[in-house]
Amino acid sequence: MTGLLRPAFFEGQILGANDLNAHVTYDRLGSALHERTEHLWGVAAGLALAATPKTTSNGDRFVAVQLLPGRAVDRLGRVIVVTEALDVEPALFTDQIAVPNATDHYPLYIQAIERPRSATARPGACNTAQPATIEEGFQLSFGAPGSEISILDQDAAPVADGFGTPTAADKVVVGWVRWNPALEQFASVETSSEGRRVRYVGVVASEVVAQDGRFGVRTRPGGARFALTVAEDTAGGCELRFGKQDGNNPVSAVFTVDARGNITYQGTLSPLPAAQVNAESGVAFDGVRLPLPAGISEDQVSQGKVRIHALVSAIPVPPRSDLVGATAFPLVLRCALDDDRRVHCQIRWISSLDPQQFVDLPAACTYLLVASGK
Amino acid sequence: MPSALYTIAYKPTKSVVALCSFEKRELSDAAAADQLLTELVGAGLPVPLSGSAPAIEIAASELGCDLVADPSPADFQGLLANPYRYRVNIDPEEANATTTPGDGKEKFLITAAAIGVSSIELIIGSPSSSTAHVVVTLTGAVTFPATARLLFDDRGPMVVQTTLEEKGITVSRVLVFELVDAEIKAGEEHHVMFFMEGAPVVARTLNALDPSDATEVAPRAVLRRRSPKPETKAPKKLRRPVRRKRPRKAIKARP
What band does B210 get if pLDDT is binned at 50, 70 and 90? confident
Pick the residue of A354, A361, A369 with the most B CBs within 10 A to test the interface with B by mutation: A361
Distance, first Cα to last Cα, chain A = 67
DSSP state of B61: G
| A320/B contact by beta carbon, under 8 A | yes
Q: Is residue B57 part of a domain?
A: yes
What band does B215 get if pLDDT is binned at 50, 70 and 90? low
Looking at the fold, whether B77 and B37 belong to one and the same domain comes out as: yes
Residue A26: count of CB within 10 angstroms of its CB = 14
Looking at the fold, whether B128 and B234 belong to one and the same domain comes out as: yes
What are the strands, taking DSSP E only, across B37-154? 44-47, 56-59, 63-68, 86-89, 108-111, 115-123, 132-140, 147-152
pLDDT at A117: 85
Q: Are B35 and B104 in contact (CB under 8 A)?
A: no
| Number of domains present in the structure of chain B | 2
pLDDT at B255: 39
Q: Is residue B88 part of a domain?
A: yes
Looking at the fold, whether B36 and B106 belong to one and the same domain comes out as: yes
Looking at the fold, whether B105 and B120 belong to one and the same domain comes out as: no
Q: Are A39 and A77 in contact (CB under 8 A)?
A: no
Q: Does A334 sit within 8 Å of B22, measured CB to CB?
A: no
pLDDT at A10: 94
Structural domain range at position B179: 115-238
Q: Is residue B16 part of a domain?
A: yes
| B9/A contact by beta carbon, under 8 A | no
pLDDT at B168: 67
For the cut 70, the answer to whether the pLDDT of residue B76 exceeds it is: yes
Looking at the fold, whether B98 and B38 belong to one and the same domain comes out as: yes
More confident residue, B94 or B41: B41
Looking at the fold, whether B178 and B199 belong to one and the same domain comes out as: yes
Which residue of chain B is at minimal alpha-carbon distance from A347?
B49
pLDDT at B75: 87
Among B95, B111, B127, the domain-final residue is B111
Q: Are A218 and A191 in contact (CB under 8 A)?
A: no
pLDDT at A251: 93
Looking at the fold, whether B151 and B216 belong to one and the same domain comes out as: yes
pLDDT at B227: 36
Q: Which residues on adjacent β-strands are paired with residue B150?
A: B158, B194
Q: Which residues on adjacent β-strands are paired with residue A69?
A: none
Which residue of chain A is at minimal alpha-carbon distance from B50?
A360
> CATH number of the domain that B138 lies in?
2.60.40
Residues B28-56 pLDDT 10s: 899 999 999 999 999 999 998 876 566 79
Among B60, B82, B111, the domain-final residue is B111
Looking at the fold, whether B52 and B129 belong to one and the same domain comes out as: no
Rounded to whole angstroms, the Cα distance separating B172 from B144 reads: 9
Looking at the fold, whether B102 and B127 belong to one and the same domain comes out as: no
Q: What is the DSSP string of B196-213?
A: ETTS--EEEEEE-B-GGG
Looking at the fold, whether B132 and B105 belong to one and the same domain comes out as: no
The amino acid sitting at A148 is: E
Residues B102-143 pLDDT 10s: 999 999 999 988 899 999 999 988 766 678 899 999 999 888
* Regions of chain A with pLDDT less than 50: none
What band does B231 get if pLDDT is binned at 50, 70 and 90? very low
Among B111, B138, B166, the domain-final residue is B111
Looking at the fold, whether B205 and B182 belong to one and the same domain comes out as: yes
Looking at the fold, whether B124 and B136 belong to one and the same domain comes out as: yes
What band does B233 get if pLDDT is binned at 50, 70 and 90? very low
Name the nearest CA neighbour of B108 among B2, B5, B32.
Answer: B5
Show which of residues 254-313 on chain A sit within 8 Å of chain B, judged by CB atoms: 280-291, 293-294
- Count CA atoms within 13 Å of residue B107 on its CB side: 30
ipTM of the complex: 0.81
